[in-house]
Structure 1
Amino acid sequence: MKIYPTCSICKHYDSNKEYCTLLEEMTTGTNQEKPSQCVKEGAYLRDINVLLDSYHLYKADEEVPYDFVIDKSKLPADKNGKPLFVLTKRGMERAIPAYDGVELISDFLLGVNKVLTFQGQRELIYDLGVDLAKKVAATRNVELLILPGEENSTGIPSEVKRHMVYQSVGKRRMPVGENYDEYE
């Protein structure tokens, strides 16, 4: 099986910032050009936790079979036999518990809730900031593991706003045309 390297499966790719820490430049996860050069130079470092998606197995101009599915057969399973994966900005990844003692329960289609995983907590802190990410973690009765450099994260305003809007949808009916700026 031929694999086309992309930035999303390279350890040097920061998926939150869409940035290559090796080349020190912006890139996208599906980029197949820059990684091919990194492979030639011996600088490409595969992140084995990211599962191969169609854009890792087919060139951009190739047709992907209609029945293509990501292979989850080698993933560990939860107590119900469902594969343990988490959906992140990198793609589908092997779910790594946020810390020892966190029980991972998976949904066959949606995977493990982000806040239960190490990589998911990184994204939540980046997107929502430490304070709001702590509240999200509390809803699942887990601790938020804050790494050095994350402690002052305030999040991305548009992501915080989106989170607040989605949280309010179940609490009250939101009329069409309502001004969502109050959720900033």
Structure 2
Amino acid sequence: MATPRTTARLVLRAPSFDDVQRLFAIYGDPATHQFNPSGPLTDIDQAHSLLEGWLTHWQHKGYGQWAIATREAPEEIIGFGGIDARKYLHVERLNLGYRFGVQAWGQGYATELSQAALDYGFAELQVPEIYAVVRPLHYASIRVLEKVGMQRIGTLDDVPGQAASLVYRSTRCIDGSSEALA
């Protein structure tokens, strides 16, 4: 698998089967799913299935969701996130997403991870645009997307009977800089 990456405070690496318990702890926590209409994972088999999907994505694409730790404690996973290919609106798009354990909230890690993921997508994958989908009341994640220069471009009616999710996008300019376009 890919070599781990670092940011000022984070270590980003491909997930492994050994991460399943931590994945279940984060994705099974109701607090981390307060804006997810599907709710938290309810058993370890769901975590195995999610992780297998991520590992398959890595195997086929060479990138995907990272296991995230701090540089101070690289053995302790605080979250998962990055960019991966997802199909919505009948098109496969590169999508930015993340989920951090509650103990990692409010420390700027989501912004740091999001910027690293955008930089990776534009510089190394050479993609022209990256998307993100966020629930309309998830103000903290909306702020993160806006801090890293993403702009709201529309909505996605992805949860029947609920308000549409917000769709954000960031694009790569000709000069190599990242710019969000409306």
Same fold (TM over 0.5): no
Structure 1 or 2, whichever has the larger Rg, is 1
Bigger strand fraction: 2
| TM-score using structure 2 length | 0.31
Tell me which of the two structures has the higher relative contact order, counting C-alpha pairs closer than 8 angstroms and 6 or more residues apart.
Answer: 2
